[in-house]
Amino acid sequence: MSTVVITGSARGIGAATAALFADMGFNVVINYNTSEADALALLDKITASGGKAIAVQADVSQMSGARLLFDKAKKAFGAVDVLVNNAGIAQQRLFTDITEEDYDRMFDVNVKSIFNCCQCALPDMIHSKYGRIINISSMWGVVGASCEVHYSASKAAVIGLTKALAREVAPSGITVNCIAPGVIDTPMNKGFDEETINALAQETPVGRLGTPDDVARAVAFLADEKSSFITGQTLGIDGGFI
């Protein structure tokens, strides 16, 4: 049975991805930092349905947290076959109001966490000549967003990391791809008022916001053996927004 680690998987896209992989028969490692109640509720849901999962509290923006996560995953299920780097934060702020602390935190969570987790996952993947890494970026990492300069820059960095790492590890049978979601109906967007949400839905050509399941299904495709000739790519799941 294959094992997947999904960072930031207590809620939103990460939780939908964890539930889908459990339905697909994977051993699922749920990771959370602060959302313990949500993570444990997801764990109960998966195990009640006959799935195999564990929940691990770890701040993967720190290498020590990433190592803890992978140590517990390996102890429970063995080597990790699929890594979904989903942990992320967002912030709307004028560029001139962004502090050094804001900038550093954004890159630590959105980019450094991916570096940390890939470093932990790759030795076993290289040894087994197989692995799937899927990184969650954003459409704003492709085109940029006003009042989200540090967020957009961090998500653009995820795309660059994906492309470079894909070239490096492809000879070892490992694919590395990226998903750039559009406006998805998740807790990350709960800060927007109803008028803004409706406007974003209208701007999306398909006429609605995306759902966590829309993104989860794309992650599952990139983790499948059928996608073995796809690597270094950024897949937009944005309803035609960009």
Instruction: State the catalytic residue, choosing from 32, 103, 130, 151.
Output: 151
**Which domains are delineated in the chain?**
3-236 (3.40.50.720)
**32 belongs to the catalytic site:** no
Structure tokens at 155: 């998500």
Torsions phi, psi for 128 (to 5 deg): -90, -5
Mean pLDDT to the nearest integer, 79-86: 98
End-to-end CA distance of the chain: 38
Q: Rounded to whole angstroms, how far apart are CA atoms 64 and 113?
A: 11
Instruction: Return the closest-CA partner of residue 5 out of 125, 89, 164.
Output: 125
Confirm if 237 and 216 have CB atoms less than 8 A apart. Answer: no
Q: Count of residues for the chain?
A: 242
pTM: 0.95
Torsions phi, psi for 43 (to 5 deg): -60, -45
pLDDT digits (tens, 9 = 90+) for 24-76: 999 999 999 999 999 999 999 999 999 999 999 999 999 999 999 999 999 99
